């Protein structure tokens, strides 16, 4: 059960002109499950992507990188679940290349205009014949209003489909932004998440699109963690079809700031949805780190807290054993950190209490207040480092019996 998250209904996901989606059952790993998704993009669409920094990155990630280097005039995305096609060596590369060729043949485009994505078990061969056999079914299913079905078809251990959508008025035109994501475990994206796809019908010049992708990734998929495991397949794609009749050539263009804000909001919503549906999660925890020297060190502190199994189990138990937060701040390896000025607050809703200051427990802190907040499903931790003006927020969930159960049972 995700923490305060419900998949939007099909009617809440606005179609993006120029993007059609089709899904199919290809029987890649399990029967009776839609596991193959095709996104077909209108001519003239521009695409930007960021991918995992994992050196054992999957074959499809390597193919995506190469195709994007050859040009951003991408026309199709193919996504399979069940098998990650990672740790599969030369054979895996051939499978990804074959997937692109088969898709290009069906759609009458070039191989390099297809981006492949896989998610699932690592080290197992991709059954590429079954995948290719499923492609015509995806083509037959292509519709602009199939975002809801696609959000479901890309799931693995997710318990809910993740999607978000916005409409805004830019220069008198309606612009739409819709995105989907998947992921629940092996989540500590570094450059991107497991899989995230956001499309807009605004036109955005390629360098601008790439910049917007980075801004959105930094605030969303690169600010979340479930278990600290950076996946081999993380990919986050931003698509701009230009079909809305609004074109942005530079960042100063009227309306561009509002568009950016909406894209970031969609990305944050999708990233938070991954945490709300984190494997076994019973709590959603926001960790805001302030007064750091730079954003990187604020993130480092946020992740140290977010990755601590001791902090995570204390949240699961609703136990205000908050010294564990201080310990995590202390081992975050900040250069010459003086713990004297560090303060820590705990919050839920409108209530925020000071827990620690001057290297120790705050005189005003009462354990029963901490215990009351720890009972909530949505909890905020705020850390002030007292050594600068930078800040960053990291999102995570608690560590529960169910996390262990899910990951001990994953393949069975």
User: What are the residue numbers of the active site?
Assistant: 193
Going from the C-alpha of 277 to that of each of 23, 57, 203, 254, the distances in angstroms are 23, 24, 32, 37
Sole binder of a copy of itself in the list 80, 119, 181, 230 (CB under 8 A): 230
Length of the chain in terms of residues written: 412
206 known ligand binder: no
Sole binder of a copy of itself in the list 101, 106, 107, 121 (CB under 8 A): 121
Of the candidate spans 68-76, 141-149, 255-263, 401-409, the one that interacts with a copy of itself by CB under 8 A turns out to be 401-409
119 known ligand binder: no
- By C-beta, is 177 or 383 nearer to a copy of itself? 383
Beta strands 76-83 and 247-248: pairing type? unpaired
Q: Residue 356 and residue 330: Cα distance in Å, rounded?
A: 13
9 known ligand binder: no
Q: Residue 112 and residue 127: Cα distance in Å, rounded?
A: 21
CA atoms within 13 A on the CB side of 372: 11
Q: Residue 79 and residue 60: Cα distance in Å, rounded?
A: 10
412 known ligand binder: yes
Which structure tokens are listed for 307? 């990755």
In the complex, minimum distance from the CB of residue 322 to a copy of itself, in angstroms, rounded to a whole number? 6
407 known ligand binder: yes
Q: Residue 235 and residue 206: Cα distance in Å, rounded?
A: 18
Q: Does 218 bind a copy of itself (CB under 8 A)?
A: no
- Return the closest-CA partner of residue 407 out of 246, 186, 147, 250: 186
Sole binder of a copy of itself in the list 45, 210, 235, 400 (CB under 8 A): 400
Which structure tokens are listed for 268? 């944050």
Q: Residue 197 and residue 67: Cα distance in Å, rounded?
A: 17
In the complex, minimum distance from the CB of residue 346 to a copy of itself, in angstroms, rounded to a whole number? 12
Sole binder of a copy of itself in the list 173, 294, 359, 366 (CB under 8 A): 359
Q: Does 375 bind a copy of itself (CB under 8 A)?
A: no
Q: Does 145 bind a copy of itself (CB under 8 A)?
A: no
Q: Does 334 bind a copy of itself (CB under 8 A)?
A: yes
Q: Please, are residues 126 and 102 in contact by the beta-carbon 8 Å criterion?
A: no
7 known ligand binder: no
- By C-beta, is 366 or 405 nearer to a copy of itself? 405
Q: Please, are residues 184 and 224 in contact by the beta-carbon 8 Å criterion?
A: no
Of the candidate spans 17-25, 88-96, 156-164, 170-178, the one that interacts with a copy of itself by CB under 8 A turns out to be 88-96
Using CB atoms within 10 Å of the CB of residue 31, give its burial: 0 to 12 exposed, 13 to 18 middle, 19+ buried.
Answer: exposed
Annotated binding site: 156, 182, 193, 279, 407, 412
Given the rule CB under 8 A, which residues bind a copy of itself?
52-57, 84, 86-92, 121-125, 185-186, 190, 227-232, 307-310, 313-314, 316-317, 319, 321-324, 326-334, 337, 339, 356, 358-361, 399-401, 403-405, 407-412
Annotated binding site for substrate: 156, 182, 193, 279, 407, 412
């Amino acid at each position: 059960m995700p923490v305060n998250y419900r998949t939007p209904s099909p009617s809440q996901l606005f179609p993006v002109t120029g993007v059609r989606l089709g899904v199919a059952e290809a029987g890649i790993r399990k029967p009776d499950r839609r596991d193959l998704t095709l996104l077909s993009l209108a001519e003239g669409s521009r695409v930007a992507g960021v991918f995992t920094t994992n050196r054992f990155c999957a074959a499809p990630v390597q193919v995506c990188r190469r195709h994007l280097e050859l040009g951003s005039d991408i026309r199709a995305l193919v996504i399979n679940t069940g098998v990650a096609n990672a740790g599969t060596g030369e054979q895996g590369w051939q499978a990804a290349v074959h997937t692109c060729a088969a898709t290009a043949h069906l759609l009458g485009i070039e191989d390099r205009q297809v981006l492949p994505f896989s998610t699932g078990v690592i080290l197992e061969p991709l059954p590429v014949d079954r995948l290719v056999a499923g492609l015509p079914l995806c083509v037959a299913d292509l519709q602009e209003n199939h975002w809801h079905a696609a959000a479901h078809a890309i799931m693995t251990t997710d318990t809910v489909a993740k999607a978000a959508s916005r409409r805004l008025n830019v220069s008198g035109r309606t612009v739409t932004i819709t995105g989907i994501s998947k992921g629940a475990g092996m989540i500590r994206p570094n450059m991107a998440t497991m899989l995230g796809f956001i499309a807009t019908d605004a036109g955005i010049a390629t360098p601008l699109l790439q910049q917007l992708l980075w801004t959105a990734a930094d605030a969303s998929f690169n600010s979340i963690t479930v278990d600290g495991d950076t996946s081999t397949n993380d990919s986050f794609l931003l698509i701009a079809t230009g079909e809305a009749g609004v074109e942005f050539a530079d960042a100063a263009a009227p309306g561009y700031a509002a568009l950016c804000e909406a894209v970031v909001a969609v990305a944050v919503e999708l990233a938070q949805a991954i945490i709300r549906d984190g494997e076994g999660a019973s709590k959603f925890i926001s960790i805001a780190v302030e007064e750091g020297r730079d954003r990187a060190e604020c993130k480092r502190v946020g992740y140290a807290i977010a990755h601590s199994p001791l902090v995570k189990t204390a949240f699961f138990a609703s136990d205000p054993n908050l010294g564990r937060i201080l310990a995590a701040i202390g081992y975050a390896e900040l250069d010459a950190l003086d713990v004297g000025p560090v303060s820590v607050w705990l919050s839920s809703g409108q209530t925020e209490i000071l827990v620690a200051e001057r290297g120790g427990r705050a005189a005003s802190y009462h354990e029963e207040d901490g215990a009351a907040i720890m009972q909530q499903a949505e909890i905020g931790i705020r850390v002030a480092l007292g050594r600068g003006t930078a800040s960053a927020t990291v999102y995570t969930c608690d560590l529960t019996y169910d996390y262990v159960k899910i990951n001990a049972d994953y393949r069975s």
